[in-house]
Amino acid sequence: MDIDPDEIVTVELDTYDWERSYSRLLTRRQLGELLLHFDDMADQTEATYEEGAQHNQRAELVAAGRCPNCRWPDYQCNCAEHPDA
């Protein structure tokens, strides 16, 4: 059985803090494009999250008096690439 790309479907988004769900009519073709877009956005979200986690880890090491590159105490560090030097 073929799927008609122009068939209209209901897309509904909801989160726990919305008063009501967000629902729209789309064609199956548009739904496919939307899902690809969601995938891209999810990849970006993951990259942003990892960037943030890395940044926090570096800040914690610096606050603890350690080199964020080699993690050794500052006075024992021989890194050429010292962000604060």
Q: In the stretch 50-69, what mask flags binding to Zn ion with x, by CB under 5 A?
A: -----------------x-x
User: Could you give the CA distance from residue 19 to residue 26 in angstroms, rounded to a whole number?
Assistant: 22
Number of residues that bind Zn ion (CB under 5 A): 5
Q: How far is the CB of 61 from Zn ion (least distance, A)?
A: 10
Cβ nearer to Zn ion, comparing 26 with 77: 77
User: Who's near 3: CB < 8 A, 6+ residues apart?
Assistant: 28
CA atoms within 13 A on the CB side of 26: 14
Binding site for Zn ion (CB under 5 A): 67, 69-70, 77, 79
